[in-house]
Chain A
């Protein structure tokens, strides 16, 4: 039964997704699949609808029309919470870290370890456990950040990215969406982050990777999906296409 499920359904299937913001049509009937342990690159010019599409999957916007299947079952994703619940996590472009807090606090923000509670409202944080666990997470990512007690504002772009990824990895999600994960970091750190993505794939996580840098996309993804003006115009395994072809699809009209 399990096997059959895997054979028949991809991990994620978004079917005929439409999204309108008032009079503006952001997506018109997009179909998008993501398979088990697959990295898909989502590319397109500004305003092509990439961000809208992943925001629908991550629960930030509900679709105007369309259906989402997860592991073969139809799901309703109306909030980030819904998405998290079924195992979809997002690493946001602006990283969504609280710079005034330390690394450990950021990794476990919203799901702190609790020592003891005085009711639901006053839960005491188990700081020691959080530091230990954060230490483990960061070590598994093989990115040096010094101490997990360091404030995030004192970290470099790549280190911040690692913290943001660590934050999602700890949840053992099935899907990680990465919106421009290499946008604000140095070249040296960039390759680290790309290695990290490969590593996550090996652990059986599927990833959606959004980037403007097509060289980067081609170096890391299995399949590339091209959006243009709210429509899907290309969907190919990387070995069957080229950067030139993708660029043509991106800017063609």
Chain B
């Protein structure tokens, strides 16, 4: 009798041990790869529920829709990894789009010039923010919030508040063209992902971004020109917003001073859902890409299912909160 009890007890302990182990694996797995699971499961569910979902056409459609937010999210990953934030990206989209359109329509510039100049201006504005942030030690939240208003205002001033339309046919290729079966924005997105991944994972610059986000003082004491890199990071983010702005203007065949309203939220959401810590120093490009695609798939799938966009907002909001809670537990 006693032996039996002991055996049961021992069995129970083993079971508990095993259970804990499985729980532990599930736990760490969910914490570190939760986003991949969630993304995969969402894709499977969508495939079952709507036969259209997995068709190549729909997949390219999703990636094209994601590409603009996705490109900015790559730039934003650099900013958030270094423990900063950039709220100005949505306005930067409008600013570059309007300038690109204006250069073509008002000044008759070539597509090349009309693409290059706005990108350059956006990068300079980004670097300008970086300089103000690092020189004055005002938090990037505040400075980029200011730029959110400034860039939007500059776009409105330049365009007089009206859309600028009638763009070069060759310019329209950037957002609307196809190379084979692949939309051009998707190719640009892929290029940005590869460059971003390479820089972050292979170069000293990438290492310094992580170091600065992890412990800025340690980075400084190690002889890294911290403020230089912090500044560059804002240049990169604004540059990526510029690319998105060009694509959008090309796609809608006009420079819209009201374009990109609220995009900063989707961009930041993509990065955070992708597992990059808001506190800096942890995360990366692959997570961000998954985060962006996840949001895209969710939107697309819910659309295909006929779910009202109002509900979609609620879903995405919940997702952001869950992502941040997971990040908190991981710390």
Contact = CB atoms under 8 A, between A and B. Distances in A.
Interface of A: 80-81, 84, 90, 92, 94-101, 105-106, 109-112, 114, 121-125, 167
A100 B222 contact: no
A48 B215 CA distance: 28
A100 B211 CA distance: 8
A98 B199 CA distance: 19
B203 A109 contact: no
Interface string B201-241: 01111011011011101111111100000000000000000
B282 interface: yes
Contacts of A92: 221
A95 B222 CA distance: 11
B281 A98 contact: yes
5 contacts: A96-B215, A96-B217, A109-B224, A112-B204, A167-B222
Contacts of A84: 223
A210 B281 CA distance: 31
B223 A99 contact: no
A112 B207 CA distance: 9
B223 A80 contact: yes
B210 A124 contact: no
A100 B210 contact: yes
A9 B324 CA distance: 59
B203 A98 contact: no
Given A100-B281, A122-B199, A111 B223 contact: yes
Contacts of B282: 100
B202, B218, B281 — most chain A CB neighbours (10 Å):
B218
Nearest to A122: B203
Contacts of B217: 94, 96
A106 B221 CA distance: 12
Given A80-B221, A100-B213, 5 more contacts: A84-B223, A96-B218, A98-B219, A98-B281, A111-B223
Contacts of B211: 98, 101, 105, 109
Contact of A99 (B205, B214, B219, B224): B214
Contacts of B281: 98, 100
A81, A96, A111 — most chain B CB neighbours (10 Å):
A96
Contacts of B218: 95-98, 106, 109
Contacts of B215: 96-100
Interface string B174-210: 0000000000000000000000000100111101101
A125 B202 contact: yes
Chain B interface residue bracket vs A: 20 to 34
A94 B207 CA distance: 21
Contacts of B214: 98-101
Contacts of B202: 124-125
Interface string B157-170: 00000000000000
Contacts of A106: 218
Interface string B71-99: 00000000000000000000000000000
A96 B203 contact: no
Contacts of B221: 80, 90, 92, 96
A125 B204 contact: yes
A112 B208 CA distance: 10
A110 B199 contact: no
A109 B207 contact: yes
Nearest to B206: A125
Interface string B13-25: 0000000000000
Nearest to B81: A100
Nearest to B282: A100
Contacts of A98: 210-211, 214-215, 218-219, 281
A99 B219 CA distance: 11
Nearest to B280: A100
A123 B213 CA distance: 19
B207 A105 contact: yes
A124 B203 contact: yes
B250 to A, nearest CB: 28
A183 B105 CA distance: 67
A154 to B, nearest CB: 13
A153 to B, nearest CB: 9
A97 B218 CA distance: 5
B207 to A, nearest CB: 6
For the complex of A and B, 4 pairs with smallest distance between CB atoms: A100-B214, A110-B222, A98-B214, A100-B281
Given A97-B215, A98-B281, A101-B214, A121 B207 contact: no
A84 B222 CA distance: 10
Given A96-B217, A97-B215, A125 B207 contact: yes
Contacts of B210: 98, 100-101
B114 to A, nearest CB: 27
Contacts of A125: 202-204, 207
